[in-house]
A and B are shown apart, each in its own frame.
Chain A
Amino acid sequence: MSIDLKHLTIKKAHDHFTKGDFSARELAETYLEEIEKKNKDLNAYLEVFQDALDQADEADKRIKEGKATLLTGIPFAIKDNILIKGRRAGAASKILEGYYATYDSTVAKKLKEEGVVFLGRTNMDEFAMGSSTENSAYGVTKNPYDHSRVAGGSSGGSAAAVAADMSLAALGSDTGGSIRQPAAFCGLTGLKPTYGAVSRYGLMAMGSSLDQIGSLTKTVEDARIIFNAIKGKDTFDATSRDFQTPTSKKKIRVGILNYFIDDLASNGVDPEVMVNYNEVKKKLESIGYEVKNITADVSSLKYSLATYYILMPAEVSSNLARFDGVKFGALEEGKNLLEDYLLTRGRGFGKEARRRIILGTYVLSAGYYDAYYNKANTVRSLIQKTFKNIFEEVDVVLTPTTPSPAFKIGEKSSNPLEMYLADIFTVTANIAGIPALSVKSGEATVDGKKLPLGVQFMASHGHENTLFDIGKNFERALS
């Protein structure tokens, strides 16, 4: 049977497997053919795993024995900062050249237990620093909808892989929007779970208080299936915990943050994004949701981006101290030990990584620690408190995912601050630790090409089911 990759979902693939329409091997072969055709141009994958078909054969055995789960045999792409034992992992950085993972991340372990097929590791901004995948040491990943544009970042490779039918699902990581923004740019569903819901063991740390592993998929249901498989308290990640994940309420109240309309709309948000956002509000109302302006004081949220760009570089400067050419990765030798460090890190890290480490070192240094890092933590607490108040009024907050559709390769790379503004809608969820889901919401026409747009739903800690519920209803209403 010829396989329709475009409309394939996890459940459909599973049904085809169990009915014997096609095997996991045939499905993996089909994706590998697509990768063969498209990856040279798109540069989504850094490596295609040689044993993908062997993994598929193992999955087929399970399927034949009737022991398949929903995820058995499902092809996955994995972001280059998530460890799979015995495989290369490098966070798209030269400083980790030659590094083979010495253990499985917990998410990889869980997915192995399900019997997924890992097709390969995907391109990303180096150490997850970026919003375009232009900061990869291995070239940018192109947007499948317009090859002159970025796929987004930092999980650009994962997004392009799924959007171009080079994988059915992908794992990414999200520290300030790195799953949701590329998902929006590539017309996908991207989930950043509640902080602590998914174990970070085996995820190369960027911002330890902000990072989460999540999924990029074509549908909300696929995101739900994957989330349920990878979530859970893990003794290897002390920040992880089980959440009650209550089933969603019958009447979900959707909240609108006024300051987006007043402040940002006139200030750098694409007019087509605002048009689409207003259409989304009307669509949600038409399918029965109450959409209301949030009345609580949300003024602290204006400082989300500034808070993020203090806390994250601070944590980055600490987390990246381990890359020194001593324990793993690449080593550039100098005359003495100090020079080993200076050269290894100076040459192994790319420009953006160096920039953020310097920034983090500054905000943590004596004399500035209080004004920057401590102050940012105070603002963070304020933001968290603000969300507590918000979620007493509403169940879900709705925003555009990004201020614009995918921008052109090179358009923002000369001005780091301009690039950071791409995260303006997404960083808040990481600061507050709340879950957020980006869903395809429409298209913008730019230079004669149709580019996807995404809309973001945020809910309170542990309320992923609310996100899946409204996400699925919205998805259905658009189809």
Chain B
Amino acid sequence: MLSTKDIEKLAELARIAIPEEEKASLTREVDAILGYVNEIQKVAGENVEKEIPEHRNVFREDKNPHLPGEFTEGLLEEAPRQQDEYVKVKKIL
């Protein structure tokens, strides 16, 4: 059984502020869903042998980078706070 404390801990991890009036119902709902999905425990625990996929190691060569600053202006325009070619945030430390 999930408690409200558990939900609060998860919300903190996920960086989401859950409104006070929602905590009880959210706890109930998440608990019910977990109860349902838990039925996969009934599946016999065999580990299915993983086949080596045909599609693998698809990284490109580390060559031909785009020109520095090519996308900066366009991307920065979307940032809520920006300054001098940087995305701006409140102090971290």
Chain A positions near chain B (C-beta within 8 angstroms): 99-100, 102, 196, 235, 238-239, 241, 300, 303, 306-307, 309-310, 317, 321, 324-331, 336-338, 340-343, 345-347, 349, 351, 354-355, 357-359, 361-362, 365, 371-372, 375-376, 378-379, 381-382, 385, 416-417, 420
Chain A CB count within 10 A is highest, among B36, B55, B90, for: B90
Do B48 and A381 have beta carbons less than 8 Å apart? yes
Chain B 21-40 interface 0/1 with A at a Cβ cutoff of 8 Å (1 = within): 01000100110111011111
Contact B36 A417 (CB under 8 A): yes
- Chain B residue contacts of A343, Cβ below 8 A: 17
Contact A326 B14 (CB under 8 A): no
Interface size, B (range) = 35 or more
Instruction: Kindly provide the distance from the CB of B53 to the nearest chain A CB, expressed in whole angstroms.
Output: 10
Name A326's contact: one of B34, B58, B79 (CB within 8 Å): B79
| Given known A-B contacts A235-B60, A354-B18, A309 and B33 have beta carbons under 8 A apart | yes
Known contacts A309-B33, A328-B79: A361-B39 contact under CB 8 Å? no
CB distance from B8 to the nearest CB of A (A): 10
Contact sample, A vs B, 7 pairs, CB 8 Å cutoff: A99-B78, A310-B37, A328-B78, A336-B91, A359-B33, A365-B13, A375-B41
In the complex, which residues of chain B have a beta carbon less than 8 angstroms from the beta carbon of A365? 10, 13
A345: chain B residues within 8 A (beta carbon) = 14-17
Interface pair A102/B78, CB less than 8 Å apart = yes
B residues less than 8 Å from A385 (CB atoms):
48
Chain B residues, CB < 8 A from A303:
39-40, 42-43
B68 on the A face (CB < 8 A)? no
- Chain B residue with Cβ nearest A96: B78
Query: Would A349 and B16 be within 8 Å (CB), given that A358-B26, A378-B48 are in contact?
Result: yes
The residue from A238, A329, A351, A371 contacting B80, defined by CB atoms under 8 A apart: A329
Instruction: Tell me if A361 and B55 are in contact (CB < 8 A).
Output: no
Residues of A within 8 A of B89 (CB): 326, 337, 340
A370 → chain B closest CB, angstroms: 11
Docked Cα-Cα span, A334 to B36, in Å, equals 37
Is B47 an interface position by the 8 A CB rule? yes
A residues less than 8 Å from B92 (CB atoms): 337
Interface-central residue, B29, B41, B55, B79, by most chain A CB under 10 Å = B29
Number of A-B residue pairs at CB separation under 8 A: 135
CB pair A358 B7 closer than 8 Å: yes
Contact B33 A331 (CB under 8 A): no
A100 to B76, CA, bound (A): 11
Complex contact B33–A379 (CB within 8 A): no
Q: How far is the CB of B75 from chain A (nearest CB, A)?
A: 6
Question: Can you add 12 more A-B contacts, CB < 8 Å, to A325-B80, A346-B18, A382-B46?
Answer: A99-B78, A238-B58, A306-B37, A330-B80, A342-B16, A346-B17, A354-B16, A354-B18, A354-B26, A358-B11, A382-B43, A417-B29
* Distance of A433 Cα from B26 Cα, bound (Å): 31
Which residue from chain B places its CB closest to the CB of A372 in the assembled complex?
A: B37
Contact between chains at A416 and B26 (CB < 8 Å): no
Q: Describe A's contact surface by its main secondary structure.
A: helix
Asked if A196 and B55 sit within 8 Å, CB to CB, the answer is yes
Looking at the complex, which one of B26, B38, B90 makes contact with A340 (CB distance below 8 Å)?
B90
| Known A-B contacts A361-B10, A378-B47; A346 and B40 likewise in contact (beta carbons under 8 Å) | no
* Contact (Cβ within 8 A) A238 B59: yes
Q: Which residue of B lies closest to A353 (CB)?
A: B16
Give A100 to B29 CA distance when docked, in angstroms.
34
Q: Which residues of A contact B14 (CB under 8 A)?
A: 317, 321, 345, 357-358, 361
Q: Which residue of A lies closest to B43 (CB)?
A: A379
Distance of A119 from chain B, by nearest CB (Å)? 24
Q: Is B66's CB within 8 Å of the partner chain A? A: no
A48 shortest CB reach to chain B, Å: 23
Inter-subunit contact B17/A361 (CB<8 Å): no
What residue in chain A is nearest B54 (Cβ atoms)? A241
Query: Pick the contact of A307 from B34, B40, B77, B90 — CB < 8 Å?
Result: B40
Whether B60 lies near A417 (C-beta < 8 A) is no
Cβ distance B58 to chain A, nearest Cβ, rounded Å = 4
Residues of A within 8 Å of B37, CB to CB, are 306-307, 309-310, 372, 376
* A145 → chain B closest CB, angstroms: 30
Determine whether the beta carbon of B36 is less than 8 Å from that of A309. yes
Contacts of A362 in B (CB 8 A): 6, 10, 30, 34
Using an 8 Å CB-CB cutoff, how does the interface string of B54-86 with A read, 1 for contact, 0 for none? 010011100000000001001101111100000
Q: Is the CB of A306 within 8 A of B48?
A: no
Residues of A within 8 A of B79 (CB): 326-328
Give the complex CA separation of A345 and B12 in angstroms.
Answer: 11
Q: Is the CB of B74 within 8 A of A102?
A: yes
Chain A residues positioned under 8 Å from B7 (CB to CB): 358
Q: Decide if B5 is an interface residue (CB 8 Å cutoff).
A: no
Q: Across the interface, name the chain B residue whose C-beta is closest to A368.
A: B34
| Docked complex Cα distance between A465 and B76 (Å) | 43
Task: Give every chain B residue within 8 A of A341 (Cβ-Cβ).
Answer: 15
B30-A346 in contact (CB<8A)? no
A321 surroundings in chain B (CB, below 8 A): 14-15
